[in-house]
Amino acid sequence: MAEYFATFDNGKFSHLVYDGIWAVALTLNATIGRLKDTGRTLDEFTYGNRNMTNIMAQAVYDVEFIGVTGHMRMGKYGRQGTVDILRIHNDSYLKVGIFSQGKVSMNNTLVKWRAGRVPRDAKPTLARNVALDITTASVFIVVASLGIVLAVAFLVFNVYYRHERLIRMSSPNLNNLIVIGCILIYMVAILMVLNADMLNVASLSIVCKLRNWMMSVGYSLAFGAMLSKTWRVHKIFMCTRKYKREIGRASCRERV
């Protein structure tokens, strides 16, 4: 097989194939000795026999010889040998280190990088805090504050005139819940402006929790009350239609 690769691949892999064949042969030879101790032979090997496969896998670690490619020995992570670390310098290879027994030994005096900097081997990841600029933050705070003031005015108006007929017909209690929910959501908009540049870690953690709770409670109050009002109007109209039908039937009976 080594002669075949030497003939048809211009000798590129023939030395590797040669050492590989020797490694397989020596592994089988070591397996024969291990199987003999258990009263079995290599002829009994099948791909489904896990015990024999494990014995053969252990025998690989006993193989050690000097091959064409150098010292040949198998370990947990593959071949254990000496690997030369080369770099191209002036159109020629220059040995700058070796890798052996899982350790790298480098001659840093021979390693030279362009502009004296080591090139990046991966896409860099930079973490930074992104915050709103002071102008945008000010706009958010002003608009949210105006919304809170307007909502408080509506709440006071709704409470003060709660006994008026039109206010009573509009479900003042549900109106109050909607306004309180809107106030909480406006307050969340103000808290969203706060960032790590303005607060310490402990305070920022509390603010983050408040954002979530206030947004959840405010949204539930505002839209929950709004849906309740919609359901109330629906029930009123349905009851009114049913009442009209009953009155109509009673009138017909009286005429008869």
The string of pLDDT tens digits covering residues 172-205 is 888 899 999 999 999 998 888 887 777 787 888 8
Q: Give the model's pLDDT for residue 12.
A: 64
- Report how far apart, in Å, the C-alpha atoms of 99 and of each of 23, 62, 82, 107, 192 are: 21, 21, 6, 12, 54
Sorting pLDDT into bands at 50, 70 and 90, what band is 32?
confident
Indicate whether 249 pLDDT > 70. Answer: no
CB 175 within 8 A of CB 228: no
Q: What is the mean pLDDT of the chain?
A: 79
Q: Which pTM was predicted?
A: 0.46
In whole angstroms, what is the distance from residue 152 CA to residue 176 CA? 10
**What one-character-per-residue DSSP string does the chain give?**
-HHHHHHHSTTSSHHHHHHHHHHHHHHHHHHHHHHHHTT--GGG--TT-HHHHHHHHHHHTT-EEEETTEEEEEETTEE-SEEEEEEEETTEEEEEEEEETTEEEE-GGG---GGG-PPPSS-----------HHHHHHHHHHHHHHHHHHHHHHHHHHHTTTSHHHHHT-HHHHHHHHHHHHHHHHHHHHTT--TTTS-HHHHHHHHHHHHHHHHHHHHHHHHHHHHHHHHHHHHHHHHHHHHHHHHHHHHHHH-
Q: Give tens-digit pLDDT for 199-233.
A: 787 888 888 888 899 999 999 999 998 888 888 88
Q: Give the model's pLDDT for residue 112.
A: 75
